[in-house]
Amino acid sequence: MTTTVTYDGVEVGEQLPHRSFPIARADLVRYAGASGDFNPIHWNARFAVEVGLPDVIAHGMFTMATAVRLVTDWIGDPGAVVDYSVRFTKAVVVPDDEGGATLDVEGVVAEKLEDGLVRIDLTARSGDDKVLGMARATVRLS
């Protein structure tokens, strides 16, 4: 594994470049196909409302995959991610309109561990909602 960021070169408290990711209905359809998760709450508004949701919501796993892009872009080698965990705190509602949803992700170097390991804490928001909690990625840096 070869990372562009090095263990010696990072400091606790360092912010990763933040990103805003647009999410449209079509993205959820494509992700359903790629992941094999065809739960209709992620593409069928009638079904989503029937089961008590306000509208179609993004796959939690889609949000999880999107948020960690901050980390993989920063380190270069995605194979250097050795641990990644999240809680899904709020659903990301994806309306069927021009705007869709927007996922705003920030990351900070939270801890430097042994063995070249560094923990990054992520926050992800959609509008005013914090959609991921305890989102942490551990990476092994060169």
CB 140 within 8 A of CB 83: no
Among the listed residues 54, 79, 99, 127, the single contact to another protein using CB under 8 A: 79
Among the listed residues 7, 45, 55, 78, the single contact to another protein using CB under 8 A: 78
CB 23 within 8 A of CB 69: no
Give, to the nearest 10 degrees, the angle between helix 25-35 and helix 60-67.
90
CB 85 within 8 A of CB 124: no
Q: Does 73 bind another protein (CB under 8 A)?
A: yes
Contact region with another protein (CB under 8 A), list: 66-74, 104-112, 113-121, 122-130: 66-74
Assign 89 to helix, strand or coil. coil
Minimum Å gap between C-beta 96 and another protein is: 19
For another protein, the binding residues (CB under 8 A) are 1-2, 21, 27, 30-31, 33-37, 39, 41, 51-52, 59-62, 64-66, 68-69, 71-73, 76-79, 81-88, 91, 137
